[in-house]
Structure 1
Amino acid sequence: MFKKLLASIGVGGAKVDTQLDNPRLRPGDMLTGRVVVQGGNADQDIDKIELVLMVEAEQESGDHEVRGALPLGSILVSQRFTVKAGETRQFPFQLQLPAETPINALAHYGRPLAVWIHTDLAIASAVDASDRDLLEVHPTAQVAALLAAFEQLGWGLYSTDVEVGTARIGNVASTLGCYQEMELKPRGGNFRIQEIELTFLPWGNETHVLIEVDSRFGGDFYRSLAMGPDFAGRNWADELRRQLPL
């Protein structure tokens, strides 16, 4: 009886460990792994196991921005069950990353962008146990191609962050409650443009790109382009030269 009481308040209770098969992946890929639950000193009722895809996002608060954890999606790994004292239970899972999952495996000078899996082990009548596993989200082929084109023209990635809100490019809108911005700066300086910000929105078999240009002398402006299934055969450096005063 005393052991059960200790378990109910989190002393000697169940532990959770989420083991990822492929923590290095791209938006749209399938994340696989297993959640391992190790029983404590007494039998324990678990209400559920849930995995939540999280990102660190910025939101305006008054005259400044506040960073916080924002959920992008979740899956239920297990419903209610009992883990016996000393027992080990494994629960395999598959979680497809949304196509708009922010990308953080990019070299830049800004603050690292955290994307992770939060494991929630909901324990009946007790404080929940949790686990956090970082993901390394690499760029899609479309994002890599456009960044390479900017690099060819002398523009490198300086920083990237995620903003709470909705981005729109024509009739296409972001769907996760947030969107990623990638800030580019000219290598060696640029007389006319101070910085460029990119937002990528995948939509069906296309990737739409919003380009925000910050002019040194005012008159900031936007451009947009669509990268279709034939994107790999196009010269994006030439396309950028046609659209921007680079």
Structure 2
Amino acid sequence: MFKKLLASIGVGGAKVDTQLDNPRLYPGELLRGRVLVQGGSADQDIEKIELVLMVEAEQESGDHEARGALPLGTVPVSGRFTIVAGQTKELPFQIQLPAETPINALPHYGRPLPVWIHTDLAIDSAVDASDRDLLEILPPAPVQTLLQAFEQLGWALASTDVEVGTARAGNVMSTLGCYQEFELRPRGGNFRIQEIELTFIPQGGNTHVLIEVDARFGSDSYSVLVMGPDYAGRDWVAELRRYLPL
């Protein structure tokens, strides 16, 4: 009885370890892995195990912005079961990442953008245990194509962050409760434009791009372009020159 009581408050209790098979992947791809539950010194009831896709996002608070963890979606791995003392239980899983999952596998000068899987192990009558596994989210081909076109025009990626809220590119809106901004700066400076911000919103076979031009003098301007299935055959350097005052 004493050992059971200790286990119920987390002393010598169960442990959880999430192992990812492919932590480096593209938005929209399947993340595969397994959750290993290791029993402690006494049998324990596990209420549930869930995996939560998380990102660090910025939210305005008064006159400043605060960064915090934002859940993008939750996937159940297991319902209630009992883990026997000393037993190891393996629970395989597959998670399809949203197409709008923020991208963090890009070289830039800003601080890193964490994207991770958070594992919740809810133990009966005890504080939840947690596990955190980082992901590398690669840029899809349309994103790479447009960033390379800006690079040829003298605009380099300086930083990227995620904002809490909704972005709109024409009639298309983001759907995760947050959106990612890519901040581009001119190499060697630019007299007219201080910064360009890009937000990519994939929908169906198209990628909609909101472009904000931060002017040094006067008001900012906004443009929207659509990269369709034929994007690879288009001259995006010429397109950007036509869209923007570069």
Instruction: Output the TM-score relative to the length of structure 1.
Output: 0.99
Amino acid at match of 2:126: A
Query: Deviation at 1:2?
Result: 1.4
Question: Distance between the aligned counterparts of 1:184 and 1:35, measured in 2?
Answer: 39
Amino acid at match of 2:79: Q
Question: Distance between the aligned counterparts of 2:32 and 2:218, measured in 1?
Answer: 48
Amino acid at match of 1:54: M
1:215-234 alignment runs, 5 A limit: 215-234=215-234
Alignment partner of 1:31 is 2:46: no
Match of 1:63 in 2: 63
Query: Deviation at 1:3?
Result: 1.3
Query: Deviation at 1:64?
Result: 0.4
Match of 2:129 in 1: 129
Match of 1:193 in 2: 193
Question: Distance between the aligned counterparts of 1:173 and 1:85, measured in 2?
Answer: 49
Amino acid at match of 1:134: L
Report the 3-state secondary structure (helix = DSSP H, G, I; strand = E; otherwise coil) of the residue aligned with 1:188: coil
Match of 1:85 in 2: 85
Match of 1:4 in 2: 4
Query: Deviation at 1:111?
Result: 1.1
1:151-166 alignment runs, 5 A limit: 151-166=151-166
Divergent runs of 4+, >2 A: none
Match of 1:202 in 2: 202
Report the 3-state secondary structure (helix = DSSP H, G, I; strand = E; otherwise coil) of the residue aligned with 1:144: helix
Report the 3-state secondary structure (helix = DSSP H, G, I; strand = E; otherwise coil) of the residue aligned with 1:3: helix
Deviation per residue, 1:131-170 (Å, 9 max, x gap): 0000000100010000000011110000110000000111
Query: Deviation at 1:96?
Result: 0.4
Report the 3-state secondary structure (helix = DSSP H, G, I; strand = E; otherwise coil) of the residue aligned with 2:99: coil
For structure 2, the residue ranges without an aligned partner over 5 or more in a row are none
For structure 1, the residue ranges without an aligned partner over 5 or more in a row are none
Alignment partner of 1:172 is 2:160: no
Alignment partner of 1:100 is 2:100: yes
Match of 1:52 in 2: 52
Deviation per residue, 1:146-200 (Å, 9 max, x gap): 0000011110000110000000111100000000001000011112111000000
Query: Deviation at 1:56?
Result: 0.4
Report the 3-state secondary structure (helix = DSSP H, G, I; strand = E; otherwise coil) of the residue aligned with 2:148: helix
Match of 1:138 in 2: 138
Greater mean deviation of Cα atoms: 187-196 or 38-47: 187-196
Query: Deviation at 1:21?
Result: 0.3
Deviation per residue, 1:81-140 (Å, 9 max, x gap): 000000000000000000000000111111110100000000000011110000000100
Greater mean deviation of Cα atoms: 215-224 or 225-234: 215-224
Question: Distance between the aligned counterparts of 2:6 and 2:236, measured in 1?
Answer: 63
Report the 3-state secondary structure (helix = DSSP H, G, I; strand = E; otherwise coil) of the residue aligned with 1:55: strand
Instruction: Output the TM-score relative to the length of structure 2.
Output: 0.99
Deviation per residue, 1:211-234 (Å, 9 max, x gap): 000111122101110000011111
Question: Distance between the aligned counterparts of 2:224 and 2:117, measured in 1?
Answer: 32
Query: Deviation at 1:57?
Result: 0.5
Question: Distance between the aligned counterparts of 2:71 and 2:223, measured in 1?
Answer: 30
Question: Distance between the aligned counterparts of 1:136 and 1:151, measured in 2?
Answer: 22
Query: Deviation at 1:244?
Result: 1.0
Query: Deviation at 1:36?
Result: 0.3
